[in-house]
Structure formats: C-alpha cells, structure tokens
Amino acid sequence: MSLQPDKTTSLREKNKIKNNERAEVRYFKGEEQFERWRKEFIQHQDNELKLAAVSKLSYEPADYEPLLVQEPFPELVLTDHSYLIDKAVTKTEESYVYPQGIRIAIIISLFVILVIFFSPIVLLITVAMGVAAAVSLHFTRKDREHAIKEAEREAREEMARRNEQERLVYEEKRRQHEVKETARLALIQQLLTGAPGAVRARLDEVLSHLKLPVVVEVDIDFFADIPFVKVWLPSKAVIPKQTCEMLPSGRLQFQDKDTRVFNKQYFELCGAIILQVVSVILANIPSFQEAYAAGVVKNDLTDDCILSVKIPKEEIASINRANSAIPALQAFAAIYECDTSLALYPVDMLCPPEWEEIDKQELKSLKVRIFQ
C-alpha cells in the first residue's frame, strides 16, 4: 500500500518534465521563427532602400586639368653604407688579436724563464728565441696594418658598388615612371580631344564602377562627339509587389501595392538608371556636349523602347536639384507614353539627326555590364 504514492509522484514528475521539454521546444521554435521573420523584414527593407537610392542623382564633372601636370619622381637618396668600413676594420683587428697575443706571450715567457733559470746557455737560447718572436710580432703588426688598409679599401669598393646598384635601380624606376607618365598624359590629351580609343577606355572604366542594385547592360555608340546610349532596363520583377510591415508580435504583414504605386516605382527606377548612366558619361568625357539615351526592355518577342531622351551637357547639372528621376526626365522633355496607372508603353527612339546619312560602320561602339 505504501508504494502507490511513490508511483503517482514519479508519474507526475515525468509528465512535468515532458511538459517542460515541450515548452522549451515551442520556445526555441518560436525564437527561430521570429529570427526568420526579422531577417526577411530586414531583407525586404534593404531591397526597397537600394532601389530608392538610385533616384539620388548627382552630376560632378571630372576635372582633368590637375592631371595634365607630370608627377615628379622623387630625388635619389643614397643609403649610407659607411658602417661597412667600421665592420670590416673591426673584423680584421679581431682576427689579429690571437696571433699577436701568442707572440707577446712567448716573449714574456722567455723573459720569465731567463730570470728563473739564468745561465749563459739559457741566456743565449732565450735571446735567440726572443729576437725571433719579436721579429715575428713586428711582421704580424705590419700584416695587420696592411690587412686593415685592404679591408677599408674593399669596404669602400663595396660601398661604391652598392651605391652604383642603387643608382641603376633608381634610373630604371625613373625611366619606367617617365614612360607611364608620358602614356598617362598622352591618354588624357587624347581623351580631351575625343580620340575614340581613349573615350572607349574611359567609358568602360567609369561605367564599370557605377553602383546599381540591379544588372544593367549598356550599349554605347558614338560619332562626332555625340553618344547614343541604349540602356537595357530590368523587368518589373525587380520591384517588390507587396509592402512589408513587422507587427508588435513579430509577425510580418504583407499588403499588395496599389497598381499606380507599383508602376510609378518602376518608372522612377528606369528613369533614375538612365540618368545615372548618362550623367556619368557626360561627366567623364569632355568632348561630349550632349547625349541621346533610350531605355529598352527585353520582351519575349520584341525589345521595346519605353523611355527616350536627349540631354545637353549644359543642362545636366539640373539633376542635382531634382527630388526624383521622373521630374528630372520631364525637365529634359523625355519621350514616354503611359496611362493613368503610369504603366509605360513603347515609344520611338530619339536618335541623333546628325547620324542620318552616315555609314553605321563609322560608329564607335562599346558594351558595358553594370552590377555592384
């Protein structure tokens, strides 16, 4: 009879442990779900901010005048290798310490022997050996002096050799610097005069560094200092169709965007991309005084131009005062067609009239893929 309460208590404890485990599992699952919602919300907001950032337009013309000055090459400063002389002399002196010490020790030893064991025979022997040791010491010192002078001479030759090597390296680097500077200045001069090769290289460089949140391909044709820029615009799929809001509970609430809001956002993005590309081109190519641009969308059967504009260089700076791309395009009398929901329809491309009678083979072309 006394065992029944123990079994009931044990069963209750097991049920309590299981309930705690289930609660912990539910808690951690809830935390994981909340973290997924948070990351999804941040990603959605980040995408919207990146798309909106394209509409922050600016035009800053490149100043090439300071670049026309040749950059001087620094003067040669030779390394002080005088330490080689001290090092060589010290090493030579150290090499003669032992030979001189041995000879001096022999002379002292002979003198001690003579004092202790004085006799005519000892005197004769020690004097003979002492004279020999003294003569040897004398020649050892002469050899030491000669060796020191030779070491100094070799050290000075090594100093001269190293300095000459430095001069040769310096001259080679200066020659390479002058070659690079000459090429750089020639390239800038060509760019200022509108040489096709220099223009193409500069366009490829600056457009490749343009930061856009979507992939954009740009085809550029130019002739007679007039560029025609064909911008292959992204599809509407890059625009989020829903807004995202995080509720106090952590859940996400999605709401479909109004059709007009969605179309306006796409219109704004397309216009901003075109203006960003054209502003970079006109800012970096001094010979271009105007630019024609067309925004083209790839469809299943055809490629439709939905925006076309001519932008004079003297007016491009007005985009710095524009709040968004749409009014900036309207200020340039851009060609586009849309309905009340701001859905864009195909229009004719605005092409340079100066090109009507030229051979297309005379056009200089460039293709650039932009994505950062």
User: 302 in a domain, yes or no?
Assistant: yes
Q: Would 62 be classed as within a structural domain?
A: no
The pair of structure tokens assigned to 180 is 């690079």
Residues 153 and 291 occupy one common structural domain: no
For the chain, what is the domain count?
3
pLDDT of 293: 96
Residue 175 covered by a domain: yes
C-alpha triplet 175, 181, 183: angle, nearest 5°: 105
From first to last of its 372 residues, the chain has per-residue pLDDT tens of: 444 555 565 666 656 555 555 554 454 455 677 778 788 878 888 888 888 889 999 999 999 888 888 888 888 888 888 888 888 888 887 887 888 888 888 888 878 887 887 778 877 887 888 788 788 878 888 888 888 888 888 888 888 899 999 999 999 999 999 999 999 999 999 999 999 999 999 999 999 999 999 999 999 999 989 999 999 999 999 999 888 888 887 787 888 889 999 999 999 999 999 999 999 999 999 999 999 999 999 987 889 999 999 999 999 999 988 889 999 999 999 999 999 999 999 999 999 998 988 888 889 999 999 986
Asked whether residue 241 falls in the same domain as residue 362, the answer is yes
Q: Check: pTM over 0.75? Answer yes or no.
A: no
Domain range for 102 is: 83-190
State whether 273 and 326 are in the same domain.
yes
Residue 64 lies in a domain: no
Q: Are residues 96 and 237 in the same domain?
A: no
Q: How far apart are the first and last CA of the chain?
A: 79
- The last residue of one of the domains, among 165, 190, 215, is 190
Distance of CA 316 to CAs 119, 262, 277, 306, 354, Å? 118, 27, 12, 21, 21
Tell me if 22 is assigned to some domain.
Answer: yes
Do residues 139 and 284 share a domain?
no
Boundary residue ending a domain (157, 190, 223):
190
Contact 294, 350 (CB under 8 A): yes
Residue 138: exposed, middle, or buried by beta-carbon count in 10 A (0-12, 13-18, 19+)?
A: exposed
Among 207, 320, 191, 343, smallest CA distance to 262 is for 343
| Residue 50 forms part of a structural domain | no
State the Cα torsion 151-155-157-162 to the nearest 10°: 160
pLDDT at 335: 95
Tell me: do 250 and 358 sit in the same domain: yes
Q: Same domain for 185 and 202?
A: no
Q: 237 and 182: one domain?
A: no
Q: Are residues 237 and 283 in the same domain?
A: yes
* pLDDT recorded at residue 94: 82
| Residue 152 is assigned to a structural domain of this protein | yes
Same domain, 24 and 88: no
Residue 52 belongs to some domain of the structure: no
Co-location of 98 and 209 in the same domain: no
206 and 181 both lie in a single domain:
no
